[in-house]
Structure 1
Protein backbone atom coordinates (compact mmCIF):
# COMPACT_ATOMS: atom_id res chain seq x y z
CA UNK A 1 0.00 0.00 0.00
CA UNK A 2 2.88 2.35 0.80
CA UNK A 3 4.41 1.74 -2.62
CA UNK A 4 1.17 2.74 -4.30
CA UNK A 5 1.05 5.98 -2.30
CA UNK A 6 4.64 6.80 -3.27
CA UNK A 7 3.94 6.18 -6.97
CA UNK A 8 0.68 8.14 -7.00
CA UNK A 9 2.30 11.63 -7.02
CA UNK A 10 4.68 10.51 -9.77
CA UNK A 11 1.83 9.32 -11.92
CA UNK A 12 -0.24 12.44 -11.43
CA UNK A 13 2.68 14.81 -11.91
CA UNK A 14 3.91 13.36 -15.21
CA UNK A 15 0.82 11.84 -16.77
CA UNK A 16 1.25 11.31 -20.49
CA UNK A 17 -2.35 12.25 -21.09
CA UNK A 18 -1.68 15.87 -20.12
CA UNK A 19 -0.43 18.11 -22.90
CA UNK A 20 2.70 20.11 -22.12
CA UNK A 21 3.40 23.40 -23.80
CA UNK A 22 5.95 22.79 -26.54
CA UNK A 23 9.07 24.91 -26.57
CA UNK A 24 9.83 26.94 -29.72
CA UNK A 25 12.53 24.59 -31.04
CA UNK A 26 10.19 21.61 -30.71
CA UNK A 27 7.59 23.44 -32.80
CA UNK A 28 10.13 23.99 -35.57
CA UNK A 29 11.09 20.33 -35.54
CA UNK A 30 7.47 19.23 -35.66
CA UNK A 31 6.77 21.56 -38.59
CA UNK A 32 9.29 19.70 -40.74
CA UNK A 33 7.90 16.29 -39.77
CA UNK A 34 5.08 14.83 -41.89
CA UNK A 35 1.60 15.62 -40.69
CA UNK A 36 -0.38 12.78 -39.11
CA UNK A 37 -3.23 11.26 -41.07
CA UNK A 38 -6.50 13.22 -40.75
CA UNK A 39 -9.16 11.79 -38.48
CA UNK A 40 -12.70 11.27 -39.74
CA UNK A 41 -14.73 13.22 -37.17
CA UNK A 42 -18.08 11.85 -38.35
CA UNK A 43 -16.99 8.38 -37.25
CA UNK A 44 -16.26 9.63 -33.73
CA UNK A 45 -19.93 10.47 -33.28
CA UNK A 46 -20.82 6.86 -34.01
CA UNK A 47 -18.50 5.59 -31.31
CA UNK A 48 -15.29 4.82 -33.21
CA UNK A 49 -12.56 7.04 -34.57
CA UNK A 50 -11.13 6.02 -37.90
CA UNK A 51 -8.19 7.54 -39.70
CA UNK A 52 -8.82 8.08 -43.39
CA UNK A 53 -6.45 5.98 -45.44
CA UNK A 54 -5.04 7.13 -48.74
CA UNK A 55 -6.79 5.55 -51.72
CA UNK A 56 -5.24 2.33 -52.98
CA UNK A 57 -3.26 2.68 -56.16
CA UNK A 58 -4.90 0.99 -59.11
CA UNK A 59 -4.08 0.92 -62.80
CA UNK A 60 -7.79 0.68 -63.69
CA UNK A 61 -10.97 2.51 -62.76
CA UNK A 62 -12.12 1.92 -59.16
CA UNK A 63 -15.44 0.42 -60.29
CA UNK A 64 -13.82 -1.98 -62.80
CA UNK A 65 -14.11 -5.74 -62.21
CA UNK A 66 -11.13 -7.29 -60.42
CA UNK A 67 -8.55 -9.37 -62.26
CA UNK A 68 -10.07 -12.62 -60.96
CA UNK A 69 -13.58 -11.57 -61.96
CA UNK A 70 -12.34 -10.67 -65.45
CA UNK A 71 -10.83 -14.17 -65.84
CA UNK A 72 -14.00 -15.90 -64.63
CA UNK A 73 -16.21 -13.78 -66.92
CA UNK A 74 -13.93 -14.58 -69.85
CA UNK A 75 -13.98 -18.34 -69.24
CA UNK A 76 -17.76 -18.41 -68.80
CA UNK A 77 -18.18 -16.46 -72.06
CA UNK A 78 -15.82 -18.93 -73.71
CA UNK A 79 -17.80 -21.90 -72.47
CA UNK A 80 -21.01 -20.23 -73.65
CA UNK A 81 -19.72 -20.63 -77.21
CA UNK A 82 -19.86 -16.87 -77.84
CA UNK A 83 -16.41 -16.46 -79.39
CA UNK A 84 -16.79 -12.75 -80.12
CA UNK A 85 -17.71 -12.04 -76.47
CA UNK A 86 -14.85 -14.15 -75.13
CA UNK A 87 -12.32 -12.74 -77.61
CA UNK A 88 -13.23 -9.21 -76.48
CA UNK A 89 -11.50 -9.97 -73.16
CA UNK A 90 -8.14 -10.31 -74.96
CA UNK A 91 -5.76 -7.48 -75.72
CA UNK A 92 -6.76 -5.95 -79.05
CA UNK A 93 -10.18 -7.64 -78.89
CA UNK A 94 -9.04 -10.91 -80.44
CA UNK A 95 -6.83 -13.90 -79.77
CA UNK A 96 -4.01 -15.19 -81.90
CA UNK A 97 -4.56 -17.98 -84.40
CA UNK A 98 -3.67 -20.43 -81.62
CA UNK A 99 -4.77 -18.94 -78.28
CA UNK A 100 -2.69 -19.74 -75.21
CA UNK A 101 -5.70 -21.41 -73.60
CA UNK A 102 -6.77 -23.40 -76.67
CA UNK A 103 -7.34 -26.44 -74.46
CA UNK A 104 -10.39 -24.72 -72.91
CA UNK A 105 -11.74 -23.80 -76.32
CA UNK A 106 -11.72 -27.42 -77.42
CA UNK A 107 -13.49 -29.14 -74.51
CA UNK A 108 -16.23 -31.30 -76.08
CA UNK A 109 -19.62 -32.00 -74.47
CA UNK A 110 -19.04 -29.82 -71.41
CA UNK A 111 -21.51 -30.43 -68.58
CA UNK A 112 -19.94 -28.46 -65.74
CA UNK A 113 -17.07 -26.08 -65.23
CA UNK A 114 -15.42 -24.73 -62.09
CA UNK A 115 -12.83 -21.95 -62.11
CA UNK A 116 -10.74 -21.24 -59.01
CA UNK A 117 -8.52 -18.18 -59.03
CA UNK A 118 -5.87 -17.11 -56.57
CA UNK A 119 -4.79 -13.60 -55.65
CA UNK A 120 -3.19 -11.66 -58.52
CA UNK A 121 0.59 -11.37 -58.52
CA UNK A 122 2.32 -8.21 -59.74
CA UNK A 123 4.78 -9.08 -62.52
CA UNK A 124 6.35 -5.64 -62.86
CA UNK A 125 7.78 -3.01 -60.55
CA UNK A 126 5.50 -0.14 -61.61
CA UNK A 127 3.32 1.52 -58.99
CA UNK A 128 0.52 0.71 -59.51
CA UNK A 129 1.34 -2.58 -61.18
CA UNK A 130 0.42 -2.70 -64.86
CA UNK A 131 1.08 -6.41 -65.40
CA UNK A 132 -0.73 -8.93 -63.22
CA UNK A 133 -0.69 -12.70 -63.24
CA UNK A 134 -3.70 -14.61 -61.92
CA UNK A 135 -3.08 -18.29 -61.07
CA UNK A 136 -6.06 -20.48 -62.03
CA UNK A 137 -7.32 -24.02 -61.60
CA UNK A 138 -10.07 -25.25 -63.89
CA UNK A 139 -12.15 -28.40 -63.47
CA UNK A 140 -14.23 -29.41 -66.46
CA UNK A 141 -16.75 -32.25 -66.32
CA UNK A 142 -17.68 -33.71 -69.69
CA UNK A 143 -19.46 -36.81 -70.92
CA UNK A 144 -16.02 -38.45 -71.13
CA UNK A 145 -14.89 -37.65 -67.59
CA UNK A 146 -13.36 -34.94 -65.44
CA UNK A 147 -10.44 -32.87 -66.69
CA UNK A 148 -8.30 -30.52 -64.62
CA UNK A 149 -6.07 -27.71 -65.78
CA UNK A 150 -3.68 -25.42 -63.94
CA UNK A 151 -1.91 -22.32 -65.09
CA UNK A 152 -2.20 -18.56 -65.19
CA UNK A 153 -3.55 -15.60 -67.11
CA UNK A 154 -1.57 -12.38 -67.46
CA UNK A 155 -3.55 -9.18 -67.58
CA UNK A 156 -2.84 -5.55 -68.33
CA UNK A 157 -5.05 -2.47 -68.04
CA UNK A 158 -7.19 -1.61 -71.07
CA UNK A 159 -5.87 1.45 -72.92
CA UNK A 160 -8.74 3.57 -71.58
CA UNK A 161 -8.26 2.28 -68.00
CA UNK A 162 -11.80 0.91 -67.81
CA UNK A 163 -10.73 -2.58 -66.75
CA UNK A 164 -8.33 -5.45 -67.35
CA UNK A 165 -7.63 -7.33 -70.58
CA UNK A 166 -5.88 -10.65 -71.09
CA UNK A 167 -2.38 -10.41 -72.51
CA UNK A 168 -1.36 -14.08 -72.38
CA UNK A 169 -2.20 -17.38 -70.73
CA UNK A 170 -0.72 -20.74 -69.94
CA UNK A 171 -2.91 -23.72 -69.07
CA UNK A 172 -1.65 -27.26 -68.71
CA UNK A 173 -3.52 -30.46 -67.91
CA UNK A 174 -2.93 -31.63 -64.34
CA UNK A 175 -3.24 -35.05 -62.81
CA UNK A 176 -4.96 -35.48 -59.46
Structure 2
Protein backbone atom coordinates (compact mmCIF):
# COMPACT_ATOMS: atom_id res chain seq x y z
CA UNK A 1 0.00 0.00 0.00
CA UNK A 2 2.91 2.35 0.72
CA UNK A 3 4.19 1.91 -2.80
CA UNK A 4 0.87 2.99 -4.27
CA UNK A 5 0.84 6.14 -2.14
CA UNK A 6 4.40 6.96 -3.23
CA UNK A 7 3.50 6.61 -6.94
CA UNK A 8 0.41 8.86 -6.80
CA UNK A 9 2.40 12.13 -7.05
CA UNK A 10 4.04 10.84 -10.22
CA UNK A 11 0.67 10.13 -11.81
CA UNK A 12 -0.76 13.57 -11.08
CA UNK A 13 2.35 15.72 -11.30
CA UNK A 14 4.12 14.09 -14.21
CA UNK A 15 7.49 12.44 -14.20
CA UNK A 16 10.61 14.58 -14.45
CA UNK A 17 12.43 11.77 -16.22
CA UNK A 18 10.32 12.12 -19.39
CA UNK A 19 11.47 14.69 -21.96
CA UNK A 20 9.16 17.60 -22.64
CA UNK A 21 7.83 17.69 -26.20
CA UNK A 22 9.71 20.34 -28.16
CA UNK A 23 8.56 21.79 -31.45
CA UNK A 24 11.22 21.71 -34.14
CA UNK A 25 13.27 19.11 -32.29
CA UNK A 26 16.96 19.23 -33.13
CA UNK A 27 16.96 15.44 -33.41
CA UNK A 28 14.68 15.59 -36.46
CA UNK A 29 16.40 18.60 -37.99
CA UNK A 30 13.04 20.10 -38.99
CA UNK A 31 11.62 23.39 -37.83
CA UNK A 32 8.06 23.71 -36.64
CA UNK A 33 5.47 25.23 -38.97
CA UNK A 34 3.76 27.15 -36.19
CA UNK A 35 5.11 29.61 -33.68
CA UNK A 36 4.32 29.39 -29.99
CA UNK A 37 3.82 32.69 -28.24
CA UNK A 38 5.00 32.99 -24.63
CA UNK A 39 2.41 33.34 -21.87
CA UNK A 40 2.08 37.00 -20.84
CA UNK A 41 2.06 36.03 -17.16
CA UNK A 42 5.10 33.77 -17.40
CA UNK A 43 8.54 35.13 -16.52
CA UNK A 44 10.93 35.74 -19.40
CA UNK A 45 13.15 32.81 -20.33
CA UNK A 46 16.82 33.16 -19.50
CA UNK A 47 18.02 31.05 -22.45
CA UNK A 48 17.78 32.26 -26.08
CA UNK A 49 15.62 30.34 -28.51
CA UNK A 50 17.78 28.11 -30.69
CA UNK A 51 15.16 26.35 -32.79
CA UNK A 52 13.79 29.47 -34.52
CA UNK A 53 13.34 28.80 -38.23
CA UNK A 54 15.27 31.16 -40.51
CA UNK A 55 12.08 32.31 -42.22
CA UNK A 56 10.61 33.49 -38.91
CA UNK A 57 13.45 35.93 -38.27
CA UNK A 58 12.46 39.35 -39.65
CA UNK A 59 14.76 42.20 -40.56
CA UNK A 60 17.49 40.84 -42.86
CA UNK A 61 15.74 42.23 -45.96
CA UNK A 62 12.78 44.49 -46.63
CA UNK A 63 9.30 43.07 -46.00
CA UNK A 64 7.79 41.75 -49.21
CA UNK A 65 11.16 40.98 -50.82
CA UNK A 66 11.57 37.63 -52.57
CA UNK A 67 12.80 34.90 -50.23
CA UNK A 68 16.16 33.15 -50.66
CA UNK A 69 14.79 30.18 -52.62
CA UNK A 70 12.87 32.42 -55.01
CA UNK A 71 16.02 34.49 -55.63
CA UNK A 72 18.00 31.36 -56.55
CA UNK A 73 15.22 30.09 -58.83
CA UNK A 74 14.91 33.44 -60.62
CA UNK A 75 18.66 33.47 -61.17
CA UNK A 76 18.60 29.92 -62.56
CA UNK A 77 15.74 30.71 -64.91
CA UNK A 78 17.70 33.68 -66.27
CA UNK A 79 20.68 31.43 -67.18
CA UNK A 80 19.37 29.84 -70.42
CA UNK A 81 19.06 33.26 -72.07
CA UNK A 82 21.84 34.60 -74.25
CA UNK A 83 22.10 37.82 -72.21
CA UNK A 84 24.29 36.97 -69.20
CA UNK A 85 23.83 40.42 -67.67
CA UNK A 86 20.31 39.40 -66.57
CA UNK A 87 21.63 36.43 -64.59
CA UNK A 88 24.78 38.25 -63.39
CA UNK A 89 22.58 40.91 -61.75
CA UNK A 90 21.64 38.35 -59.07
CA UNK A 91 25.27 38.13 -57.88
CA UNK A 92 26.88 40.35 -55.26
CA UNK A 93 27.93 43.60 -56.89
CA UNK A 94 25.82 42.85 -59.98
CA UNK A 95 28.42 40.64 -61.64
CA UNK A 96 30.23 37.36 -61.23
CA UNK A 97 33.97 36.98 -60.83
CA UNK A 98 36.26 35.95 -63.68
CA UNK A 99 35.25 32.33 -63.01
CA UNK A 100 31.84 32.08 -61.26
CA UNK A 101 31.41 29.47 -58.54
CA UNK A 102 28.72 27.75 -60.59
CA UNK A 103 30.70 27.84 -63.85
CA UNK A 104 30.00 24.14 -64.39
CA UNK A 105 26.33 25.04 -64.90
CA UNK A 106 26.88 28.33 -66.72
CA UNK A 107 29.27 26.75 -69.24
CA UNK A 108 26.95 23.97 -70.46
CA UNK A 109 26.65 24.33 -74.24
CA UNK A 110 23.19 24.30 -75.82
CA UNK A 111 21.37 24.71 -72.49
CA UNK A 112 17.66 24.38 -73.27
CA UNK A 113 15.86 23.86 -69.99
CA UNK A 114 16.48 23.94 -66.24
CA UNK A 115 14.52 22.46 -63.39
CA UNK A 116 15.53 23.76 -59.99
CA UNK A 117 14.51 22.30 -56.64
CA UNK A 118 15.50 24.38 -53.63
CA UNK A 119 15.60 23.33 -50.00
CA UNK A 120 14.95 25.38 -46.88
CA UNK A 121 17.53 28.12 -46.26
CA UNK A 122 20.11 27.45 -43.54
CA UNK A 123 21.65 30.25 -41.47
CA UNK A 124 25.44 30.20 -41.85
CA UNK A 125 26.27 32.88 -39.31
CA UNK A 126 25.29 33.73 -35.76
CA UNK A 127 23.98 37.24 -36.44
CA UNK A 128 20.37 38.00 -35.53
CA UNK A 129 18.85 38.27 -38.06
CA UNK A 130 21.11 35.98 -40.08
CA UNK A 131 22.97 37.77 -42.86
CA UNK A 132 24.41 34.72 -44.61
CA UNK A 133 22.03 32.00 -45.77
CA UNK A 134 22.70 28.80 -47.66
CA UNK A 135 20.06 27.38 -50.00
CA UNK A 136 20.50 23.70 -50.98
CA UNK A 137 19.72 23.06 -54.65
CA UNK A 138 19.22 20.19 -57.06
CA UNK A 139 19.36 21.23 -60.73
CA UNK A 140 18.33 19.24 -63.77
CA UNK A 141 19.78 20.74 -66.95
CA UNK A 142 18.54 19.61 -70.36
CA UNK A 143 20.71 20.18 -73.43
CA UNK A 144 20.63 19.02 -77.03
CA UNK A 145 22.84 16.06 -76.12
CA UNK A 146 21.28 14.90 -72.85
CA UNK A 147 20.27 15.65 -69.28
CA UNK A 148 22.66 16.51 -66.47
CA UNK A 149 21.97 16.68 -62.73
CA UNK A 150 23.84 18.87 -60.25
CA UNK A 151 23.58 19.20 -56.49
CA UNK A 152 25.03 21.82 -54.19
CA UNK A 153 24.17 25.14 -52.61
CA UNK A 154 24.01 28.88 -53.13
CA UNK A 155 24.95 31.27 -50.33
CA UNK A 156 23.07 34.54 -50.21
CA UNK A 157 23.44 37.79 -48.34
CA UNK A 158 21.18 40.85 -48.13
CA UNK A 159 21.71 43.50 -50.81
CA UNK A 160 23.46 46.60 -49.44
CA UNK A 161 20.19 48.58 -49.59
CA UNK A 162 18.25 45.72 -47.91
CA UNK A 163 15.85 45.38 -50.85
CA UNK A 164 16.35 41.63 -51.23
CA UNK A 165 18.93 38.84 -51.43
CA UNK A 166 21.97 38.52 -53.68
CA UNK A 167 24.20 35.52 -54.39
CA UNK A 168 27.47 35.57 -52.49
CA UNK A 169 28.92 32.18 -53.55
CA UNK A 170 27.93 28.79 -54.87
CA UNK A 171 29.04 25.19 -55.05
CA UNK A 172 27.64 22.72 -57.58
CA UNK A 173 28.79 19.21 -58.33
CA UNK A 174 27.57 16.84 -61.04
CA UNK A 175 25.62 13.79 -59.88
CA UNK A 176 26.63 10.55 -61.52
CA UNK A 177 23.92 8.08 -62.35
Q: Does the TM-score normalized on the shorter chain lie above 0.5?
A: yes
List alignment gaps of at least 5 residues for structure 2.
Answer: 1-37, 42-55
SS at match of 1:79: coil
Residue in 1 that maps onto 2:127: 126
Report matched runs for 1:76-95 at 5 Å: 76-95=77-96
**Contact 2:80 / 2:112 at 8 angstroms: preserved in 1?**
no
Structure 1 residues 88 and 135, CA gap change in structure 2 (3 angstroms)? same
Residue in 2 that maps onto 1:106: 107
Residue in 1 that maps onto 2:143: 142
Aligned residues: 126
Structure with more helix by fraction? 1
Which among 40, 58, 63 is matched to residue 36 of structure 1?
A: 40
- Residue deviations 1:47-106 (CA, integer Å, cap 9, x gap): xxxxxxxx8423001110010000011111122222111111111111100000011111
> Is 1:71 aligned with 2:72?
yes
SS at match of 2:79: helix
SS at match of 1:84: helix
Q: How well do the aligned residues superpose, as a CA RMSD in angstroms?
A: 1.8
Most deviating of 89-98 and 102-111: 102-111
TM (normalized to structure 2)? Answer: 0.67
Moved over 3 A (4+): none
Structure label with greater radius of gyration: 1
